[in-house]
Amino acid sequence: MSSACSVPVIAIDGPSGSGKGTIARMMASELGFHFLDSGALYRILALAAQRRGIALDDEQALAAVSGELDIRFPADSASEQVLLDGEDVSRDIRSEEAGAGASRVAALPGVRQALLERQRAFRQPPGLVADGRDMGTVVFPDAGVKIFLTASSEERARRRYNQLKEKGLPADYDEILADIRARDERDSSRSVAPLKPARDAVVVDTTELDIEATAQRVREIIKNRLNP
Ligand code: DC
């Protein structure tokens, strides 16, 4: 067994709006673990492609670019700061456009392969909380804790709608719901690493749970799995 494999990994997967980003960051911070926001890597790639004029279906060019991007997550896990070539792109990658672009580039096998080792390199002592779609199935299949957070598409659309309203941004519930369904469909039906729970994942439906109740449930799962 290589030394990296002895570093504990908590894989938290699920669709967007399930609360996994918030929960994963919270757990990393509470445990003092490193944090991998794998969705940010696909979002950054979509942004870089847009800036360099690379088509979002040009698999070869995108795979080549994924290998050379200078990406850094400089601050502690509670912060959402992301640097691309030294520039703070934290806000840019959170746009709806970058999210939709990320979902498209993430469907390309060559891109996923090119980002695989990059993601595994985040596994450093004392441990890692990894947030994504395929953390438990593909990137860290040997993770000691695998959690799949989900919620109904209507509830996830409602959360997104409220988030946008709180930020004073325009929001249309029906449009958001349609986007969520389209993205779920693309993420779940792609041939490589589709969005689905690992066989040994604990599935938590957060439709009826607020963030604190979800965090409590996730803490219990982590405690039981890390120290059985
Ligand atoms: O979690 P997010 O919304 O930031 O992810 C953006 C897109 O990236 C999402 O539509 C699916 C894709 N993604 C993926 O395919 N695999 C991951 N591990 C993380 C994200």
Q: How far is the CA of 228 from the centre of ligand 1 (A)?
A: 31
Q: How far is the CA of 39 from the centre of ligand 1 (A)?
A: 4
Q: Enter the tokens of residue 142.
A: 């040997």
Q: Are 31 and 80 in contact (CB under 8 A)?
A: no
Kindly list the distances between the CA atom of residue 40 and the CA atoms of 1, 68, 69, 160, in Å, as whole numbers in the listed order: 29, 16, 13, 17
pTM of the predicted model as reported, rounded to 2 decimal places: 0.91
Third-level CATH fold of 4-226 = Rossmann fold (3.40.50)
Residue with structure tokens 């689905």?
Answer: 196
Choice from 25, 41, 42 to test ligand 1 binding pocket (greatest atom count within 8 A of CB): 42
Q: Whose CA is nearest to atom 3 of ligand 1?
A: 16
List the pLDDT tens digit at each of the 228 positions of the chain: 445 668 999 999 999 889 899 999 999 999 999 999 999 999 999 999 999 999 999 999 999 999 889 888 876 656 778 899 999 999 899 887 888 899 899 999 999 999 999 999 999 999 999 999 999 999 999 999 999 999 999 999 999 999 889 988 889 999 999 989 988 888 888 788 778 899 999 999 999 999 999 999 999 999 999 876
Cβ contacts of 116 within 8 Å, gap of 6 or more: 138, 139
Pairing of strands 202-205, 9-13: unpaired
Write out the DSSP string of 171-187: --HHHHHHHHHHHHHHH
Choice from 12, 37, 38 to test ligand 1 binding pocket (greatest atom count within 8 A of CB): 38
